[in-house]
Amino acid sequence: MTILRGDCLVHLPQLGDASIQLVYLDPPFFTQKEHTLRTRDNSNEYSFGDRWASLDDYLAFMREALTHCKRILKSSGSVFLHCDKSASHHLRVLLDEVFGSENFQSDIIWAYKRWSNSKKGLLNAHQTIYFYSKTADFKFNTIFTDYSPTTNIDQILQSRARNEFGKAVYQRDENGDTVMGPEKRGVPLSDVWNIPFLNPKAKERVGYPTQKPVLLLERIIAISTDKGDCVLDPFCGSGTTLVAAKLLGRDYIGIDISTDAIRLSESRLFEPIRTESDVLALGEDRYLEKSEYERSILKAISAVPVERNNGIDGFLKFHVNGRPVSIRIQKRDEDIESAKQRLIQASRSKNCSVMILVRTHRQSERLFAPEADDSNVVVVDAYDLMIDEWLENRGYSKPQLSTASHTG
């Protein structure tokens, strides 16, 4: 367990041949800028530079670093190079050159959610991690993931065979009964990894620019090493790889040119923290609280649904007077006045010009008179309520349907 401060091109030549099982590199990406970030409590600012005289200059630096990495890797070892669109295309060619294209294993896409895009064009929401082995005989531990929700039970349990046309069909025995397949452990991990970016409140976040999630590094370490193997990160930054290695019982060596980075790595290793991801553990749908009924109302008015807000269910896609328009759908056990107050309260900090309250049921108490109301709350009735009222006014009877989907 070593952390070295200084240029990795100085330290790497000191490391022994074939001594390392995994090298993970998260170098400057050739963004041609300074990366700066303040800590959550504003007490510190960390930065590292990523400006280069030219692309050739950058690639010459990376070639030298990768060449050292290859020498120090065991024959069963692997390298994972993290990069982004700035130079990934050049780095892939460079890796082919240094490690051999025959040792290319995967082009891993680390995908995450992002919400805003200041530039014209597609929102960039992934980075690339190239996985190369040193030889064909590399260590690899398969991780199994859950079947997708659309996989049916037969696909999981039953054995398959090719029919006379070469088409995959469920296998049947001589009696025509289905044949059960071998035990299934899930779907082997693919090369697209949906791992959330560290959120601003994540416990493991230390305020280092471009800090990666421990979960991401744990996955890389888990598939390419075993307990006791040595992991090297020549650009360790805040020490994410070292923390993940320690949590998984691997040895580690970290190198970084920045004194701040070394100090941060040392303090993180003193008390390693991994922030569990609710999205990963429970799925993205966990945050979807709206019922189908509420979604259908929002869809009908082309609104954007909002989850996890006590007063607002959605927003119109357009602004009125340059300000957002919030929407609340009256809940089943809620009178209209309480619904209105909740909407107004929640909309206050959102600077809304107009608020829309969708009434979903009638009640004995009197509806506040919209015309006498100066709160800018527009009350509209849901379609099913309007139909009910129309039928009732004309004396038609309507069968009582379950209202279970009107959740509140």
Ligand X SMILES: C[S@@+](CC[C@H](N)C(=O)[O-])C[C@H]1O[C@@H](n2cnc3c(N)ncnc32)[C@H](O)[C@@H]1O
**Position 110 contacts ligand X (CB under 6 A):** no
With contacts defined by CB under 6 A, how many residues of the chain interact with ligand X? 20
Ranges within 217-256 binding ligand X (CB under 6 A): 235, 237-238, 240, 255-256
Question: Of the candidates 21, 78, 103, 210, which one interacts with ligand X according to CB under 6 A?
Answer: 210
**Position 26 contacts ligand X (CB under 6 A):** yes
Question: Of the candidates 103, 127, 258, 360, which one interacts with ligand X according to CB under 6 A?
Answer: 258
At its nearest, how many Å lie between ligand X and the CB of residue 67? 14
Nearer to ligand X, 130 or 208 (CB): 208
At its nearest, how many Å lie between ligand X and the CB of residue 203? 15
Nearer to ligand X, 260 or 289 (CB): 260
Residue nearest to ligand X (CB): 237
**Position 131 contacts ligand X (CB under 6 A):** no
Question: Of the candidates 92, 134, 205, 212, which one interacts with ligand X according to CB under 6 A?
Answer: 212
**Position 202 contacts ligand X (CB under 6 A):** no
Question: Of the candidates 58, 80, 138, 208, which one interacts with ligand X according to CB under 6 A?
Answer: 208
Stretch that binds ligand X, among 21-29, 93-101, 193-201, 324-332 (CB under 6 A): 21-29
**Position 130 contacts ligand X (CB under 6 A):** no
Stretch that binds ligand X, among 105-113, 121-129, 204-212, 314-322 (CB under 6 A): 204-212
**Position 361 contacts ligand X (CB under 6 A):** no
Stretch that binds ligand X, among 26-34, 109-117, 309-317, 350-358 (CB under 6 A): 26-34
Stretch that binds ligand X, among 23-31, 85-93, 154-162, 362-370 (CB under 6 A): 23-31
Ranges within 48-107 binding ligand X (CB under 6 A): 48
At its nearest, how many Å lie between ligand X and the CB of residue 174? 58
Question: Of the candidates 103, 211, 326, 330, which one interacts with ligand X according to CB under 6 A?
Answer: 211
Report in angstroms the alpha-carbon separations of 219 from 70, 107, 125, 229, 255.
21, 15, 19, 15, 21
At its nearest, how many Å lie between ligand X and the CB of residue 25? 9
Spatial separation of the C-alpha atoms in residues 85 and 65, rounded to whole Å: 20
3-state secondary structure the chain: CEEEECCHHHHHHHCCCCCEEEEEECCCCCCCEEEEEECCCCCCEEEEEECCCCHHHHHHHHHHHHHHHHHHEEEEEEEEEEECCCCHHHHHHHHHHHHCHHHEEEEEEEECCCCCCCCCCCCCCEEEEEEEECCCCCCCCCCEECCCCCCCHHHHHECEEECCCCCEEECECCCCCECECCCCCCEECCCEEECCCCCCCCCCCCCCCCCCCHHHHHHHHHHHCCCCCEEEECCCCCCHHHHHHHHCCCEEEEEECCHHHHHHHHHHHHCCCCCCCHHHHHCHHHHCCCCHHHHHHHHHCCEEECCCCCCCCEEECCCECCECEEEEECCCCCCHHHHHHHHHHHHHCCCCCEEEEEECCCCCCCCCCHHHCCCCEEEEECHHHHHHHHHHHCCCCCCCCCCCCCCC
Residues that bind ligand X (CB under 6 A): 7-9, 26-28, 48, 208, 210-212, 235, 237-238, 240, 255-258, 261
